[in-house]
Amino acid sequence: MIFKLVGDGRPYPEHGLSSREWAQIPPRQVRLDTLITTKAVLDLHSLLSKDSTFYGDLFPHVVQWQGELYLEDGLHRALRSALHQRSVLHARVLELQD
């Protein structure tokens, strides 16, 4: 099992963080098997592209809400980690209040 659950959508309230605001959150280690995805589909071109991790934030974005961790952005990075036999990844985690 790679993820705790494969979801489809964001069950948490809109947070409205910009890329600049995400960048202010320090990355921390997160276990892949504690993450719930917010996307059920991934384009293989994105996953297999050599520069798929070149653009955008270096770290995936995770939202912690109601005791769960939701992978909002960076599914391709998380899957690449799993393919390399890694059980953790560094991500920026936004903690939303219930």
For the chain (length 98 residues), average pLDDT per consecutive 10?
A: 92 94 96 95 71 67 97 90 93 93
pLDDT of 69 reads 98
Neighbours of 14 (CB within 10 A): 7
Q: Domains of the chain, with CATH numbers? A: 5-9+22-95 (3.90.1530.10)
pLDDT at 76: 85
What does residue 80 show for φ and ψ, rounded to 5 degrees?
-60, -40
Q: Give the Cα separation of 86 and 97 in Å (integer).
A: 30
Tell me how far apart the 2 most distant CA atoms of the chain are, in Å: 38
Task: State the pLDDT at residue 90.
Answer: 96
Q: Which of 5, 22, 1 is nearest to 73 (CA)?
A: 22
